[in-house]
Chain A
Amino acid sequence: MIEERSTTLKEKCLEKAQTGINGLDDITDGGLPKGRPTLVCGSAGSGKTLLAMEFLIKGAKRYGEPGVFVAFEETEEELTKNFASLGFDLDELIAKNKLLVDYIHIDRSEIEETGEYDLEGLFIRLGLAIDSIGARRVALDTLEILFSGFQNETILRSELRRLFSWLKEKGVTAVVTGEQGEASLTRYGLEEYVADCVILLDNRMKEQIATRRLRIIKYRGSKHGTNEYPFLIEEDGMSVLPITSLGLEHEAPAEKISTGIERLDTMLGGHGYYQGSNILISGTAGTGKTSFASQFCKAACERGEHCLYFAFEESPGQITRNMRSIGIDLQPYIDSGLMQIHASRPMAYGLEMHLTTMNKVLDTFNPDVVVIDPISNLTNVGTEDDVKLMLTRLIDYLKLKNITTVCTSLVEQESNDGVNGQGISSLMDAWINLRFFESDSELNRGFSVIKSRGMEHSNQIREFILTDHGIEIKDVYIGKSGGLLMGSSRAVQEANEMAEAVSQSQDMARKKREMESKLKALDAQIAVLNTEFEMQKEELDKLASHNELKNKALANGRSKISLIRQADAPQ
């Protein structure tokens, strides 16, 4: 009973027409309202025509829904050329009857209004176009041209109202574009007629970097993302970013993967990072952030996992060369296709572009682990807020895909607290801080695990050195003052301890020898005493037998005397 009701309720729900535009379907929870008109408004050059056209193209190509594009501004030829540069072949679709472009020419200077009229011509043309290819989707770009072509606004408005209800009746999913007005969404208030779904596109300049944004102003009968989403126009069309989940729903696997440094694994509760977690490695210049990251890459590749390295500071060649110098040879993994390095200058393009490029590479390469080196360089591209927003989205996306991510972050100031990689440390699951320790006119590298969510971790500051076989974490030597000994003082301490150990073992040997000789002496004494004992015993025996003989002889003599005396035998 309940099931029955839920299915009917589901059937009653608004049907969606997928746009096929990257990311837009996620934000709209499945697409535009099917069989209803959607208004896309925005200023000049904000990408309205592209959105409308891509909706039709993707509909024709992917969802088997032919479309009619009614162009008021550009001719079919112009459109074909413009979209060819975006990789869409309109002619091919037109030839297959999957797309129809109808250019409607309206020129006020040619038109003289002589009385009452309606826009039946437009309806008929649209109807013809829709019926001739069985279109399910319609785009009207830009309907507002009508307002510049016709003077009688009263007629126009009633005709527009009629147009939208007619489109609904036809059951086509329509995208209507409109120029943004100063005080209203569209210059002529088209939003008044399209009540179901309104999307606003925006192209704004901030600190000399242009960012395109998309926002769903309203969407009746459907949940939708309410934020402003950056989007990009690229060589293959539009993509709205990011493809984030609207909630924190990612899984949290319990498996751990090695950091590539055995002793660091131990420090992180024994087995390394959690799979699918994000790790921040912060530190000042030269502390070895890239080395830590590379070590992790190497370990991942050794396990046969795919590793993606985003480099914002060095070229791939530079990274492999530098890492080879500390015994981390990444080249074989690059050659075998396990690892990819993507290097780009942060300033090369805007934040969103970076994000899309990254997402795109992520989707094509499908890595298990990702390194972003350094994440802090991206701050140059936008304001802190923007960067944080973007990183949140990126990290969300990575988490959703269960990719373990190591981000390095360059910090300006050497300090243990307040090291805040763009305020993103709160997004990170684990945070390792690398720093220089200055002592005895030396700079030594040390690190500590500042946080590591969901696992026990060592609280000790450890020294590490970059050797020709990678990162080596040294033993802990605490000096007399309680501080960690590093560098040469550690070496001195090490030597001292070694020397002490040697002298201790020598002492031991001597003592042992002494004891042994003492024992030997005692043994000898025991032997002497034993012989003496034997001798005494012998003596004693001898004495006893002698006495007996004497007694016997005495007895013998007495009996002999009595025999002589012929006395009777003694009683």
Chain B
Amino acid sequence: MTNAEKTRMSDVKDSTAAFKEALIKKEDEKYVLHLYVAGMGPKSIRAMDNIKHICEEYMPGKYKLEVIDIYQHPVFAREGQIVAAPTLIKELPPPLRKLIGSMEDTERVLLGMDLKSKTGKE
């Protein structure tokens, strides 16, 4: 079992508690995002641009985005269970989500980040 899976397993256990916590601490919630890209092709660049844009717009100052090039670090592709590229993994807050593609569909990106429903409610 890879490290990522182990984290995910523990995530599942704590998810209910975490969810409650997240509800309370919504304001100081931090988004930890990892964007895995395969080289710096047009798809990668588009994905990077798009996600930065979305983050700035919907969670300014509350996110930490890291871009990983799996060409240069193939091991991360294995550890992160990456199949498609580009893949954005929302490590935090739980639950873990994978967003694949060039992040053009903002609606779907927000849905994947659990931001859509929240904004809808608010």
Residue of A113, A114, A125 near B74 (CB, 8 A) is A125
A470 to chain B, nearest CB (A): 68
A345 on interface, CB distance cutoff 8 Å: no
B62 to chain A, nearest CB (A): 20
Centre residue among A112, A113, A114, A129 by max chain B CB count within 10 A:
A114
Task: Please tell me if the beta carbons of B102 and A116 are within 8 angstroms of each other in the complex.
Answer: yes
Which residue on A lies nearest to B38, using beta carbons?
A120
What residues of B have a CB within 8 angstroms of the CB of A111 in the complex? Answer: 98-100
Q: What mask results when residues 66 to 100 of chain A are scored 1 for a CB within 8 Å of chain B, else 0?
A: 00000000011100000000000000000000000
Q: What mask results when residues 97 to 139 of chain A are scored 1 for a CB within 8 Å of chain B, else 0?
A: 0000011111000111111111111101101110000000000
What residues of B have a CB within 8 angstroms of the CB of A129 in the complex? Answer: 78
What residues of B have a CB within 8 angstroms of the CB of A365 in the complex? Answer: none
B45 on interface, CB distance cutoff 8 Å: no
Centre residue among B77, B99, B100 by max chain A CB count within 10 A:
B100
Q: What mask results when residues 121 to 159 of chain A are scored 1 for a CB within 8 Å of chain B, else 0?
A: 110110111000000000000000010011000000000
Task: Please tell me if the beta carbons of A112 and B112 are within 8 angstroms of each other in the complex.
Answer: yes
> Which of B17-25, B26-34, B81-89 faces chain A?
B81-89
Tell me whether A114 and B97 are in contact in the complex, defined as CB-CB below 8 angstroms, given that A105-B81, A127-B74 are known contacts: no
In the docked arrangement, what's the CA distance between A127 and B78, Å?
A: 11
Task: Please tell me if the beta carbons of A121 and B84 are within 8 angstroms of each other in the complex.
Answer: yes
Which residue on B lies nearest to A127, using beta carbons?
B74
Which residue on A lies nearest to B80, using beta carbons?
A121
B65 on interface, CB distance cutoff 8 Å: no
Residue of B46, B85, B112 near A120 (CB, 8 A) is B85
Which residue on A lies nearest to B75, using beta carbons?
A128
Task: Please tell me if the beta carbons of A114 and B81 are within 8 angstroms of each other in the complex.
Answer: no
What residues of B have a CB within 8 angstroms of the CB of A75 in the complex? Answer: 1
Tell me whether A115 and B104 are in contact in the complex, defined as CB-CB below 8 angstroms, given that A110-B96, A125-B74, A128-B78 are known contacts: yes
In the docked arrangement, what's the CA distance between A475 and B77, Å?
A: 88
B92 on interface, CB distance cutoff 8 Å: no
Residue of B43, B82, B100 near A125 (CB, 8 A) is B82
What residues of B have a CB within 8 angstroms of the CB of A106 in the complex? Answer: 83
In the docked arrangement, what's the CA distance between A423 and B121, Å?
A: 79
Tell me whether A116 and B108 are in contact in the complex, defined as CB-CB below 8 angstroms, given that A102-B78, A121-B84, A128-B77 are known contacts: no
Task: Please tell me if the beta carbons of A112 and B111 are within 8 angstroms of each other in the complex.
Answer: yes
Which residue on B lies nearest to A114, using beta carbons?
B101
Tell me whether A115 and B102 are in contact in the complex, defined as CB-CB below 8 angstroms, given that A125-B82, A150-B84 are known contacts: yes
Task: Please tell me if the beta carbons of B43 and A121 are within 8 angstroms of each other in the complex.
Answer: no
Which residue on A lies nearest to B4, using beta carbons?
A105
Task: Please tell me if the beta carbons of A128 and B100 are within 8 angstroms of each other in the complex.
Answer: no
Task: Please tell me if the beta carbons of A114 and B83 are within 8 angstroms of each other in the complex.
Answer: no
Which residue on B lies nearest to A110, using beta carbons?
B98
In the docked arrangement, what's the CA distance between A570 and B110, Å?
A: 197
Which residue on A lies nearest to B88, using beta carbons?
A114
What residues of A have a CB within 8 angstroms of the CB of B83 in the complex? Answer: 104, 106, 119, 121-122, 125, 146, 149
Which residue on A lies nearest to B89, using beta carbons?
A110
Task: Please tell me if the beta carbons of B74 and A124 are within 8 angstroms of each other in the complex.
Answer: yes
Task: Please tell me if the beta carbons of A115 and B47 are within 8 angstroms of each other in the complex.
Answer: yes
Task: Please tell me if the beta carbons of B97 and A110 are within 8 angstroms of each other in the complex.
Answer: yes
Task: Please tell me if the beta carbons of A124 and B96 are within 8 angstroms of each other in the complex.
Answer: no
What residues of B have a CB within 8 angstroms of the CB of A113 in the complex? Answer: 99-101, 105, 108
Centre residue among B82, B87, B104, B109 by max chain A CB count within 10 A:
B82
B66 on interface, CB distance cutoff 8 Å: no
In the docked arrangement, what's the CA distance between A9 and B71, Å?
A: 41
Which residue on B lies nearest to A106, using beta carbons?
B83
Centre residue among A103, A111, A119 by max chain B CB count within 10 A:
A111
Task: Please tell me if the beta carbons of B98 and A124 are within 8 angstroms of each other in the complex.
Answer: no
Residue of B38, B70, B78, B99 near A114 (CB, 8 A) is B99
A77 to chain B, nearest CB (A): 7
Task: Please tell me if the beta carbons of A121 and B36 are within 8 angstroms of each other in the complex.
Answer: yes
Which residue on B lies nearest to A155, using beta carbons?
B84
What residues of A have a CB within 8 angstroms of the CB of B88 in the complex? Answer: 114
What residues of A have a CB within 8 angstroms of the CB of B77 in the complex? Answer: 121, 124-125, 128
Residue of B5, B75, B100 near A117 (CB, 8 A) is B100
Tell me whether A124 and B112 are in contact in the complex, defined as CB-CB below 8 angstroms, given that A115-B103, A117-B100 are known contacts: no
Task: Please tell me if the beta carbons of B97 and A121 are within 8 angstroms of each other in the complex.
Answer: no
Residue of A105, A117, A124, A146 near B86 (CB, 8 A) is A117
Which residue on A lies nearest to B47, using beta carbons?
A115
- Contact residues, B33-72 vs A (CB, 8 A): 36, 38-39, 43, 46-47, 50, 70-71
Which residue on B lies nearest to A122, using beta carbons?
B83
What residues of B have a CB within 8 angstroms of the CB of A125 in the complex? Answer: 74, 77-78, 82-83
In the docked arrangement, what's the CA distance between A129 and B96, Å?
A: 25
Which residue on B lies nearest to A105, using beta carbons?
B81
What residues of A have a CB within 8 angstroms of the CB of B103 in the complex? Answer: 114-115
A570 to chain B, nearest CB (A): 174
Centre residue among B46, B84, B96 by max chain A CB count within 10 A:
B84
CB-CB nearest 3 A-B residue pairs: A112-B112, A115-B101, A120-B38
Given contacts A114-B101, A124-B82, 7 further A-B contacts (CB under 8 A): A114-B108, A117-B87, A118-B84, A119-B85, A121-B82, A121-B87, A124-B77
Binding site for A on B (CB under 8 A): 1-2, 5, 36, 38-39, 43, 46-47, 50, 70-71, 74-75, 77-78, 81-88, 95-105, 108-109, 111-112
Listed by A's residue number, 22 A-B pairs whose Cβ atoms lie within 8 Å are A75-B1, A106-B83, A112-B111, A113-B108, A114-B99, A114-B101, A114-B103, A114-B109, A115-B46, A115-B50, A116-B46, A116-B102, A117-B84, A117-B87, A118-B43, A118-B85, A119-B84, A120-B84, A124-B85, A125-B83, A127-B74, A128-B75
Binding site for B on A (CB under 8 A): 75-77, 102-106, 110-122, 124-125, 127-129, 146, 149-150
